[in-house]
Amino acid sequence: MLFPYALARPALFALDPEHAHELTMANLERFQRTPLACTWAQARVDDPVTVAGLRLPNRIGLAAGLDKNGRAIDGLGAMGFGFIEVGTVTPKAQPGNPKPRMFRLPEHDALINRLGFNNEGLDAFLLNVQRAKAFRAGGGVLGLNIGKNAATPIEDAASDYLKGLEGVYPHADYITVNISSPNTANLRSLQSDEALKALLDVLMARREHLAATQQRRVPLFVKIAPDLDEAQVGVIAATLRDCGVDGVIATNTTLSRDAVAGHRHAGEAGGLSGAPVREASNRVIGLLRAALGPEFPIVGVGGVMSGADAAAKRRAGADVVQVYTGLIYRGPALVREAAMALKG
C-alpha cells in the first residue's frame, strides 16, 4: 500500500530543503517497524547478485548521506532496497557547515549541499545501527560510511578513519571510506596518488587485524569524486587494486556547475547532485571498468532519476547502483522502477 509520494512532495518542497529532509527522516524513524510503515513500504524486487562476497537481494541501493546517523535503516529498507549505506559518520559529533546549506534546483532535478558531515558521532551512530533489525533480518545488506572530523588536520586524517573503521567493523556488512566529499576542507586531496596509498595501506592493515581477531572479513570500499580526469582515475584504480581494496563507489557529488549555469543557486558552494552529475559519473564508471577489468566490484551512483538511468549505469560498467537525489524527487517508486530495470 504505497502512499503516493506525488501527493506529499508539494508540501515537502514548500519547506526549506533541510527542514523537509529532517521532517521526512523523523517520520521514517518514528513509524518504522509499525503498521504505518505500510504507507511507504513495497515488496522488494527479487534479483539476487553477489558483489565483493556479499549476497545482495537486488541491485539497487541507497547512497550514504540521506541517513547520516543511521536513524531510519528499517524504514528506508521497507522501500525495497537490496542494500543501504548510512553515514558519513565521524569519530566525534559535529554540526557541519553553517545554514543554509542545502538548495533545490528543481528545473534540473538537482540539489546543491554543503552539509559538511553533520552527524551525532560514532557512539550515537552505532546505537542506531544496532537498533535496526528488520532490514537485515530480511536479507538486506548494510554499508557503513566513515569520514574524518572537520577539525582534524588533513595530515592526521588516518587516525579518524582508523577510529571509524574499528568502531563500525563489528556492525557492518561492508565499510565505505569517504574521501570524496567536497564539503570538508582538503578531503579530496586524499584521492591523490601518494596520499591515497598511504591511507589505504594503514586501513587495509588494520582491516586484516580486525578480520583475524573478529573472525569475519568485512569488505572495504572507497568512494571517489566525479571531477577526475582519465589519468587521475587510472592512478586511483591502480592504487585500489594494489592495496587490495574490495570495491569502489563512483561517484560523489560534483563541483562543476556547467549543467546548471544561470540558475539562481548555481553560485552556491557545495556538491551538486541529481541529473546534472549523471554523465560525469557514468564517464568515471566507464574509465574505472576499463582500468580495473571485468571482475572488480563497482557501485554506480549519481544522477539516477529513472529506471533507464539505472540501466545506463550498469551499461557503463557498474555492478550495482545507488540512488539519493532521485529518491527525493521521485519517491519510493523509483526504487522498484530501478530494481526492475537492473534485473537479470
Give the residue numbers marked as catalytic. 181
Whole-number Å distance between alpha carbons of 46 and 318: 19
Alpha helices in the chain (DSSP H): 5-13, 17-31, 73-77, 122-131, 134-137, 157-168, 193-214, 230-243, 278-292, 307-316, 325-330, 333-342
User: What does each C-alpha distance from 37 to 57, 72, 217, 258 come to in angstroms?
Assistant: 20, 11, 33, 40
Interhelix angle 230-243/278-292, nearest 10 degrees:
50
Which residues does residue 103 pair with via DSSP β-bridges, in sequence order? 112
Half-sphere exposure for 81 (CA within 13 Å, toward CB): 30
Cis peptide, bond prior to residue 100, ω within 30 of zero: yes
Cell numbers linked to 176: 565505505
Rounded to whole angstroms, the Cα distance separating 87 from 192 reads 23
Q: Can you tell me the distance from the alpha carbon of 72 to that of 34, in angstroms, rounded to the nearest whole number?
A: 12
User: What φ, ψ does residue 321 adopt, rounded to 5°?
Assistant: -135, 145
| Listed residue (19, 109, 68) closest to 11, CA to CA | 19
Distance between CA atoms of 231 and 284, rounded to whole angstroms? Answer: 11
